[in-house]
Structure 1
Amino acid sequence: MVIVQLRYSFRVYPSAGQRLALGRAFGCVRVVFNDALRVREAARCAGLPFVAFGELSRQLTVAKKTPERAWLAEVSSVVLQQSLRDLDIAYRNFFDGLKGKRPRMGAPGFKSRKDTRQAIRFTANAGWKVTAGGKLRLPKVGDLAVKWSRSLPSAPSTVTVIKDSAGRYSHRSWSRPNPGHCRIPAARSASTGARVRPGPVTAQREETGTHPKPQPVTTGRQTGNSAP
């Protein structure tokens, strides 16, 4: 059975203080990604075995207790772990390309503060929520004002906050089109223009503790396209 997920994007309008918090989070996930990539590259050059995710996660925990990396504790630990996951995905795609399982792509490279796109990802474990007032509450960021342009069919599984090259902020979420799940009303109806107050929705922790494989997704219509 194919499980289809819908991708939704909404504009976000952070306050000055929230922009600072987001900028701090963007910088922390970039440092974590680069540190982990540096560890794997050092192991490769030394002819040592590939450093597993678990070891990178352990080293991250240790690094947060050192004076040089103590500031990593100022952001949500979930976004730091997701940065390690992103590195794992980049390596998996690279190795799959070498094996002919997908088109070839380059090896993972270091991220830069000058990159045109900055992003952080919160999973259900982060405890984010949509408040009764329709704001997106993110740990160690605050309640973000969101322009809800449509309803969500269910509580999203993840929330990604993105800053583009023009300095605009948006949040992207993935939801299953299941009418039995909790709905998040839009702030303004697309058909009538009437304002609708969103009800409180909180992300729920996965009971299985496993990470599902990427599933086909769409941006509003069910298609056979896979998630990027």
Structure 2
Amino acid sequence: MAQVVKRAYKYRFYPTSGQAEELARTFGCVRLVYNKALQERTRVYALEGRRVSYVESSAQLTEWKRSGEFDFLSEVSSVPLQQALRHLQAAFANFFAKRAGYPAFKSRKRSRASAEYTRSAFRWRGGALTLAKMDAPLDIRWSRPLPEGAEPSTVTVSRDAAGRWFVSILVEEEIVPLAPVERSVGVDAGVTALVTLSSGEKIVNPRHERRDRRTLAKAQRNLARKEEGSNNRAKARLKVARVHARIADRRRDFLHKVTTRLVRENQTVVIEDLNVRNMVRNRRLARAISDASWRELRSMLEYKAAWYGRTLMAVDRWFPSSKLCSSCGALREKMPLTIRAWVCACSAVHDRDVNAAKNVLAAGLAES
């Protein structure tokens, strides 16, 4: 049965000089409002021990606009500013529910520059998108079509560190689940092989960061030699950002292809519940683990499985998948990472990763 989901379509666009200036002002105002509201909430909680609501923050925003010091806030659309307060409210809700850490201030250099527009702050006509305070539509590169008859509910404009402009359009889309299949697969995440499947197949890790490591190192050395605050340093920083962006784009594209294939071919996908945050503390493996991006791999599997009627399961991270014989169930006491193949007492010959994937699948099916 088809289900209606909210799905974001992201496109690159090329603003005019006037649009770029307007958006840059909006980004700055959004960051200012978010940081001031966070500062005020922190102050009130420290002095009075109470939480500030979204309604109070919204009233404070009106006062800031009238104070004379921040009257420039009235020059940009009010919707992105209100959305910034809503995002802060959600951040505090997650913090008090112990789902996230305390909200952090937005940095001009390190935070992603973005602004969110709801339906009252943009016009959508004939496939042309015009934002509030602008008299011309955005020059969007439609790399793929929106669903037929789709009406955007939210539009998020952003600029990444490499200076590229993107617009993310949120629409409601009807997704038809895939036809059921008989196959199930266990997935063992790794470094040399990005994933090893219980079928015995290994999908090699392209190691996108390693491929561009020399180019990245050269750009970073060039950046280090530039004078702080100079135009040349800004240009060098942009070159570094472009290399990082190319690596991230290639990695994300590859992960999309791998996860889409796994979801299409299998009714049940079983993975390990890895604690990536702790694993990257290993100095020897941190770079390789980050390049593999296991967390993003799992995230993609989760929402694609939910969309297309598949089942994703995660076995406990302490499950001894590598030390357990998938043939007889015997458990070895130790299994150092240097051992890539081993022979069990039952005479079964195991590839370490394939054996782990088989055990992960068996454990997942047993739980279900």
The TM-score, its normalising length taken from structure 2, stands at 0.45
1:69-94 Cα deviation digits (max 9, x unpaired): 10000111100000000101111111
| Contact in 2 for aligned 1:63/1:70 (Cα 8 Å) | yes
With over 3 angstroms needed to count, the CA separation of the structure-2 counterparts of 1:38 and 1:123, relative to structure 1, is: same
> Is 1:174 aligned with 2:170?
yes
Instruction: Please name the residue that 1:17 is paired with.
Output: 18
| Contact in 2 for aligned 1:6/1:218 (Cα 8 Å) | no
| Contact in 2 for aligned 1:33/1:111 (Cα 8 Å) | yes
Aligned partner letter, 1:130: W
Structure 2: distance between partners of 1:3 and 1:93:
26
| Contact in 2 for aligned 1:91/1:107 (Cα 8 Å) | yes
> Is 1:121 aligned with 2:116?
yes
1:39-63 Cα deviation digits (max 9, x unpaired): 1011111034211110110110111
| Contact in 2 for aligned 1:118/1:163 (Cα 8 Å) | yes
Tell me which protein shows more helix as a share of its residues: 2
Choose from 138, 144, 148 the match for 1:144. 138
Structure 1: distance between partners of 2:134 and 2:81:
14
Structure 2: distance between partners of 1:116 and 1:145:
25
Structure 2: distance between partners of 1:157 and 1:123:
6
With over 3 angstroms needed to count, the CA separation of the structure-2 counterparts of 1:162 and 1:61, relative to structure 1, is: same
Aligned partner letter, 2:37: A
Structure 1: distance between partners of 2:163 and 2:62:
31
| Contact in 2 for aligned 1:116/1:164 (Cα 8 Å) | no
| Contact in 1 for aligned 2:151/2:171 (Cα 8 Å) | yes
Choose from 158, 174, 198 the match for 1:162. 158
SS at match of 1:136: strand
1:158-197 Cα deviation digits (max 9, x unpaired): 0000100101000001111149xxxxxxxxxxxxxxxxxx
Q: CA deviation at 1:95?
A: 1.5
Structure 2: distance between partners of 1:116 and 1:138:
22
1:120-175 Cα deviation digits (max 9, x unpaired): 0001122x12344x442001144211111222221111000010010100000111
Aligned partner letter, 1:63: W
Query: Which stretch shows the higher mean deviation, 80-89 or 139-148?
Result: 139-148
* Mapping for residues 51-130 of structure 1, pairs under 5 Å: 51-97=52-98, 102=99, 105-126=100-121, 128-130=122-124
Structure showing greater Rg: 2
Q: CA deviation at 1:222?
A: 2.4
Aligned partner letter, 1:137: T
Q: CA RMSD in A?
A: 2.4
SS at match of 2:139: strand
| Contact in 1 for aligned 2:7/2:173 (Cα 8 Å) | yes
| Contact in 2 for aligned 1:156/1:173 (Cα 8 Å) | yes
Q: CA deviation at 1:116?
A: 4.5
Structure 2: distance between partners of 1:96 and 1:109:
16
The list of structure 1 runs, each at least 4 consecutive aligned residues, that deviate by more than 4 angstroms after superposition, is none
Q: CA deviation at 1:3?
A: 4.3
Instruction: Please name the residue that 2:351 is paired with.
Output: none
Q: Which protein has greater RCO, CA pairs closer than 8 Å, 6+ apart?
A: 1
With over 3 angstroms needed to count, the CA separation of the structure-2 counterparts of 1:174 and 1:223, relative to structure 1, is: farther
The TM-score, its normalising length taken from structure 1, stands at 0.72
SS at match of 1:64: helix
Instruction: Please name the residue that 1:201 is paired with.
Output: none
User: Where does structure 1 lack aligned partners over 5 or more consecutive residues?
Assistant: 180-216
Instruction: Please name the residue that 2:50 is paired with.
Output: 49
Aligned partner letter, 1:155: E
